[in-house]
Structure 1
Amino acid sequence: MSFTQPVTLTGELVALTPLSVDDVDGAAKAALDGRLWELTFTSVPRPEGMAAEIERRLDLHRQGRMLPFTIRRDGDQGEIVGMTTFMNVEEAHRRLEIGSTWLAASAQRTGINAEAKLLLLTHAFETLGCHAVEFRTHWLNHRSRQAIERLGAKLDGILRQHMVLPDGTVRDTAVYSIVAAEWAAVRAELRRRLARALPEPRSTEAAGAGHPATPHTPIDEEESA
């Protein structure tokens, strides 16, 4: 299977579907949820720029350099809550980066990010046979770095003065990776975190007595981009 062959990845909370030009309106609405383009260390387009951003990602897909996904909440008629990608694809070396990810504010700290990462990493390691999967973020984006480290990724190093950002500042980029030998442990931890985010089934006794199921506590997660 080609690393950039479109595929739909489905879990219990989220579905990752191939990005399409038809997703413009839904993605623009998701970006409005939290006014994500105002965040300091991430790059999310304004709603009026969403069509151009989707076309940019689709053009990179046509070049064989990216596999872009739309993140949809399971149920709710597949409501769009963000986007993510396989990027910097190096099929000959069996490695890629998970990045260009963003989530609507209401979808954060719900388990959606954990399940999306589980689906992506499972596809990368178990279907595509990757040797390594990389994550990159701004050195100063501490929440993103902590989220990546909670995945079990190891810091490979810092690309100093790596990127000029739209505001003219120059970004140092922290580079992390998970290698194939670490995947089993990472998978187990992601499944444990995800189990905490899924609703607990109501017991027969509780249902009969009219007591609601014990609500689950959202897992402590932040989006990594």
Structure 2
Amino acid sequence: MVWLTPQVLENDHVILTPLKKQHTAALMEAVCDGELWNLWFTHIPTPEQMESEVQRRLNLQTQGKMLPYTVIEKQTAKVLGMTSFMNVEATHRRVEIGSTWYRQSVQRTHVNTACKQLLLSYAFDQLDCIAVEFRTSSFNFKSRAAIERLGAKLDGILRSHQIVRDDVLRDTYVYSIVKSEWAAVQQHLNFLLAKPYVTQGK
């Protein structure tokens, strides 16, 4: 898809490199940091599921529906997790940033802020997006706080939106940042990244 093309994104903190099959083993190790698959309200692959999850995301990329990234720590080259542009609407210049997870040891540090700075910059400055969306479970309180901390605003709640596990239904909180807000959000993200990481939220 011409509008959304794979490219490496990086700043002083993280490198977002387009997902490749070769990243699978490192992602299997990363997801074990905190056993993230035990979070009932979201879908995070087990180590055994990682190969199929990587392939699923790559298949969606081939269809022009997703642009998945592997998150790498800049200083150590350690693989930290995954994130993606998804629900791509080229005609309306809208994308969602989602399917994101990070190893537990880097949660509540600068990592999420640094990743979102890169993805939002690409979306608004290169793709000229009208809006960028974020979605999360009503029970994912950390994720909701992190999205709100970026400066995104709540658009609404999709009630009984998805079946998550054992026929339990999930309410989905939908947030967005629109183009007219980007300058202020960008300044806010730069401010957050200038702080010592121990004060950062996930």
User: TM-score scaled by structure 2?
Assistant: 0.96
Q: Which has the larger radius of gyration?
A: 1
> For the aligned residues, what is the CA RMSD?
1.2
In the TM superposition, 1:157-168 aligns within 5 A as: 157-168=156-167
- Kept after mapping to 1: 8 A contact 2:84/2:99: yes
Aligned partners of 2:4, 2:54: CA distance in 1, in Å?
Answer: 16
- Kept after mapping to 1: 8 A contact 2:40/2:164: no
Aligned partners of 1:158, 1:94: CA distance in 2, in Å?
Answer: 22
Is 2:198 the partner of 1:218? yes
User: Which residue pairs with 1:205 in the alignment?
Assistant: none
Aligned partners of 2:101, 2:164: CA distance in 1, in Å?
Answer: 17
Residues 141-165 of structure 1 show CA distances to partners (whole Å, capped at 9, x for unaligned) of 2221111111111111111111011
More strand by share: 2
Aligned partners of 1:167, 1:28: CA distance in 2, in Å?
Answer: 24
User: Which residue pairs with 1:59 in the alignment?
Assistant: 59
User: Can you give the 5+ residue segments of structure 2 that lack an aligned partner in the other structure?
Assistant: none
Residues 77-115 of structure 1 show CA distances to partners (whole Å, capped at 9, x for unaligned) of x21110000000001000000000000011212201100
Residues 21-41 of structure 1 show CA distances to partners (whole Å, capped at 9, x for unaligned) of 000000000000111101232
Is 2:24 the partner of 1:24? yes
How many residue pairs get matched? 202
Q: Structure 2 vs 1, CA of residues 36 and 3 (structure 1 numbering), >3 Å: closer, same or farther?
A: farther
User: Can you give the 5+ residue segments of structure 1 that lack an aligned partner in the other structure?
Assistant: 198-216
Aligned partners of 2:142, 2:107: CA distance in 1, in Å?
Answer: 13
Q: Percent identity?
A: 50
User: Which residue pairs with 2:108 in the alignment?
Assistant: 109
Task: Give the 4+ runs in structure 1 shifted more than 2 A.
Answer: 1-4
- Kept after mapping to 2: 8 A contact 1:4/1:61: no
User: Which residue pairs with 2:49 in the alignment?
Assistant: 49
Aligned to 2:4, what secondary structure does the other structure show? coil
